[in-house]
Chain A
Amino acid sequence: EDQVTQSPEALRLQEGESSSLNCSYTVSGLRGLFWYRQDPGKGPEFLFTLYSAGEEKEKERLKATLTKKESFLHITAPKPEDSATYLCAVQLPFQGAQKLVFGQGTRLTINP
């Protein structure tokens, strides 16, 4: 069964304290891995897409990496405005549409 698991479920950091979020997956035929940010009461907002093992992408204080079994979202010197739930999703081969399987998310809190 295709499965995406994120850890930890929740993470509380002090402002400036760097850390990493994990997304591990067991899927057949990965076509891409997506990271989204979700603020309370809002829909997910796209951050990154990673296509192949070894790929890295950066945006401000965030860097996403991908291996054959997992992805990491590294947060460097976070600020309170980085507080959100971070979702990862994998795209499966699916004729005619983009089928995404989502993890349950990591709720990140950055204290000032």
Chain B
Amino acid sequence: NAGVTQTPKFRILKIGQSMTLQCTQDMNHNYMYWYRQDPGMGLKLIYYSVGAGITDKGEVPNGYNVSRSTTEDFPLRLELAAPSQTSVYFCASSSLAGSFNEQFFGPGTRLTVL
């Protein structure tokens, strides 16, 4: 099992550009999450999904969009990049939400918007 994989590892964008951060998990988990981590701050939930075709906003969703067409994939879309979106982005997945199962995290994507 590869677990949770994310691409790319690093990316530099210009203001106003768009991009998609890819996330794939091979554990057949229903629940998937996108977080951002800024220096000295805790992880903040951007969006989450409870299954294919079902997504919802987290704590900081503005400027982002998601889709979930398959169980395995949960891409995060930035439409008009802004310097405030410079951050490290982590995707995570878990098998159940009602129980207290751990979330498995990917290695992260470091994004810089100039």
Q: Chain A residues in contact with chain B, CB under 8 A?
A: 4, 9, 31-32, 34, 36, 41-46, 49, 51, 87, 89, 91, 94, 96-105
Would A100 and B105 be within 8 Å (CB), given that A31-B100, A32-B100, A44-B90 are in contact?
no
CB nearest neighbor in A for B101 = A98
Could you tell me if B56 and A97 are in contact, using CB atoms closer than 8 angstroms?
A: yes
Contact with A along B21-61 (1 / 0, CB 8 A): 00000000001010000001111110010100000101000
In B85-99, the 8 Å CB interface with A consists of 90, 92, 94, 97
Could you tell me if B100 and A49 are in contact, using CB atoms closer than 8 angstroms?
A: yes
Would A42 and B108 be within 8 Å (CB), given that A31-B100, A49-B100, A96-B50 are in contact?
yes
Would A43 and B105 be within 8 Å (CB), given that A87-B42, A98-B94, A104-B40 are in contact?
yes
Could you tell me if A43 and B100 are in contact, using CB atoms closer than 8 angstroms?
A: no
CA distance A103 to B40 in the complex (A): 10
CB nearest neighbor in A for B91 = A43
Q: How far is the CB of A35 from chain B (nearest CB, A)?
A: 10
- In the assembled complex, which residues on chain A have CB atoms less than 8 Å from the CB atom of B101? 98
